[in-house]
Amino acid sequence: MAAHYQISGTTSAAISGSVETGIRTGALAAGAALPAVRALAAELAVSPATVARAYQELRQRGLVATAGRHGTRVRPRPPVAAHRSALHPPPAPGTCDLSQGQPDPRLLPPLGPHLAALAAEIGPPTGYATAAVHPALAAAARERLAADGVPATEITVTGGALDGIERLLAAHLRPGDAVAVEDPGWANLLDLVAALGLRPIGVPVDDEGPTEAGVRDALALGARALVVTSRAQNPTGAAVTADRAGALRALLAGRPDLLLIEDDHAAELARVPLHPLAGATPAWAFVRSVSKPYGPDLRLAVLAGDEATVARVAGRARVGAGWVSTVLQRLVLALWQDPATAELVQRAGESYERRRDELLAALAAGGVPAHGRTGINVWVPVPGETVAVTALRDAGWSVAPGALYRIGAGPGVRITVSALDEADVVPLADAVARALRPATPSGFTA
Ligand SMILES: Cc1ncc(COP(=O)(O)O)c(C=O)c1O
């Protein structure tokens, strides 16, 4: 059904501008269907080519997506500022919200004591001339990454993982270029790829990471970049194993045309070893965010890579945002160096692992196969997402529909365990099993 928003305009620019206004004001909600090209053209008394051009421009900017016979719809999170509530509807009142993919705030280190200590020793303000990557942070990051097998000679700092990935993609690719992404994969990355006007190629994921066949196919289809989540893949929890890393390294070796990006957002929270691909291609980057172990509001990630790739990211930042505040960099360094914080992060990792494993075991006991080797999410394949999400909501649980995370992968729901109390594991698993049970055909009596 078409959305009840009157799109106006007689030129392609005016029509696309009108759609953008609708999205910005919330009149065109995420997922809303736009009229068919011919229908809108007739309504506005313009040629179908004019409307088609407007839709194409909106598609290239990542505001809408066209999916064959489903027509053109507003993307789940289009890149224009709108009220967040319009982009991610709040969980149904009275439900336990397991849809958010956030770390448990109770398990994030308190910042107060570190900010107070920093205030006491911070010294004179840093100015334009001297601000840069904080040398002590870079040294500590190099050491931590080297211990995990990442050859981190060149390092820069970005405002989180996604900022780093955006800078990498923008520096290496041009609109229309293809980028291989995990499918299902991180919703925010899919939104970013669309907003940059890039073409996503979905690479299937199993519990060991992106499949070899999937990466081979993506390369054959002309992917110019590949983004791999090292551990705690979102939404499936996959982690790249030693065997998979070996196979992918062999496949990627000698591909001077491919930018390889690794996203290790689980970082210190991960309970499995890192098997990096870093260095398999001449152009590579390894991004490690502090969001999950230390808090998303710190907005900081370290980015290692080959000299040219790091220079492109750092050089472009220098003519734009400049740098990530050295105050923030010093705060992260203080967190890294504090043994009590390390212990808290370790406990958080154990707590997520325990709740995840208990949920997987309870689901398995109820005959529900699910995935979640690492991280804070469990991915449950379902026959139909709307039915599963609605049935779970009615039973008191809000979970995320898999549509946000997939391109061609099968349907599923994502359940975040960070907000799940251990006492709720079995009731939740029972509710999932009930939600997936085929409904008894009406009118049938035994
Ligand atoms: C796959 C993945 N990468 C990275 C991040 C963290 O990104 P950022 O550092 O931009 O907060 C997340 C957070 O959910 C994620 O799921």
Q: Is the C-beta atom of 101 inside 6 A of ligand 1?
A: yes
Determine the Cα–Cα distance for residues 387 and 374; give it in Å rounded to an integer. 27
* CA gap 344, 170 in Å, rounded: 36
| 290 close to ligand 1 (CB < 6 Angstrom) | no
Q: Is the pLDDT at 164 greater than 90, yes or no? A: yes
Categorize the per-residue pLDDT at 30 as very low, low, confident or very high, splitting at 50, 70 and 90: confident
Each residue's pLDDT tens digit, 175-215: 999 999 999 999 999 999 998 989 999 999 999 999 999 99
* Helix pair 112-121, 326-337: axis angle to 10 deg: 120
Cα distances from 38 to residues 8, 43, 63, 161, 177, in angstroms, run: 14, 9, 20, 41, 29
pLDDT of residue 336: 97
Give me ligand 1 centre to Cα 181, in Å: 14
CB 73 within 8 A of CB 38: no
Of 316-325, 331-340, 370-379, which gets the smallest average pLDDT?
A: 316-325
The DSSP bridge partners found for residue 305 are 154, 285
Q: Is the CB of 291 under 6 A from ligand 1?
A: yes
Residue 128 banded pLDDT, cuts 50, 70, 90: confident
CA distance 119 to 265: 28
Q: What one-character-per-residue DSSP string does 384-429 give?
A: -HHHHHHHHHHTTEE-EEGGGG-SSSPPEEEEEGGG--GGGHHHHH
- Is the predicted pLDDT of residue 4 greater than 80, yes or no? no
Q: What is the pTM of this model?
A: 0.89
Task: Give the model confidence (pLDDT) of 327-346 as tens digits.
Answer: 999 999 999 999 999 999 99
Contact 10, 1 (CB under 8 A): no
Is 100 a pocket residue for ligand 1 (Cβ < 6 Å)?
no
| Nearest one of 296, 291, 419, 420 to 358, comparing CA atoms | 420
The CA-atom distances, in angstroms, between 77 and each of 32, 55, 57, 82, 350 are: 12, 17, 17, 9, 32
Indicate if the pLDDT at residue 446 is higher than 60.
no
Q: Report d(CA 33, CA 38) in Å as an integer.
A: 14
With a 6 Å cutoff on the Cβ, whether 265 touches ligand 1 is yes
Phi and psi dihedrals of 283, rounded to 5? -105, 110
- End-to-end CA separation in angstroms for the chain: 39
CA 304 to CA 261: how far, in whole Å? Answer: 10
What sections of 285-338 are H helices per DSSP? 291-294, 307-318, 326-337
Q: Has residue 155 got a pLDDT over 60? A: yes
Q: Which is the closest atom of ligand 1 to the Cα of 263?
A: 3
The rounded percent of the chain whose pLDDT value lies above 70 is: 96
What single-letter amino acid sits at 410? G
- Residues β-bridged to residue 201: 180
pLDDT tens digits for 243-271? 999 999 999 997 999 999 999 999 999 99
CB 237 within 8 Å of CB 371? yes
SS3 at position 184: coil
Q: Can you tell me whether residue 310 is helix, strand or coil?
A: helix
Query: Computed over its alpha carbons, how large is the radius of gyration of the chain?
Result: 23
Any atom of ligand 1 within 6 Å of the Cβ of 258: no
Whether 341 is in the pocket of ligand 1, judged by its Cβ within 6 Å, is: no
Cα separation values, 415 from 30, 36, 101, 321, 329, Å:
21, 35, 8, 35, 32
Confidence of residue 80 (pLDDT cuts 50, 70, 90): confident
At residue 70, the pLDDT reads: 78
Residue with tokens 């004179």: 124
**Are 65 and 77 in contact, with CB atoms under 8 Å apart?**
no
Question: Peptide bond before 184: cis, by omega within 30 degrees of 0?
Answer: yes
250-to-211, 245, 258, 318, 406 alpha-carbon distances in Å: 13, 9, 14, 35, 27
pLDDT bucket at 131, cuts 50 / 70 / 90: confident
In this structure, which amino acid lies at residue 110? P
User: What is d(CA 377, CA 240) in angstroms, rounded to the nearest whole number?
Assistant: 16
Give distance in angstroms: CA of 6 to centre of ligand 1. Answer: 37
Which residue lies with its CA nearest to atom 7 of ligand 1?
A: 161
DSSP structural state of residue 35 = P
pLDDT of amino acid 304: 98
Angle at 419 between CA 241 and CA 427, to 5 degrees: 95
What is the C-alpha separation between 439 and 420, in angstroms, rounded? 27
Ligand 1 centroid, distance to 159 Cα (angstroms): 11
Q: Which amino acid is at 337?
A: Q
Q: Is 229 in the pocket of ligand 1 (CB under 6 A)?
A: yes
What is the C-alpha separation between 129 and 356, in angstroms, rounded? 48
The mean per-residue pLDDT over the stretch 114-136 comes to 87
Q: Are 226 and 180 in contact (CB under 8 A)?
A: yes
Q: How far is the CA of 298 from the centre of ligand 1 (A)?
A: 12
| Residue 129: CB atoms within 10 Å | 6
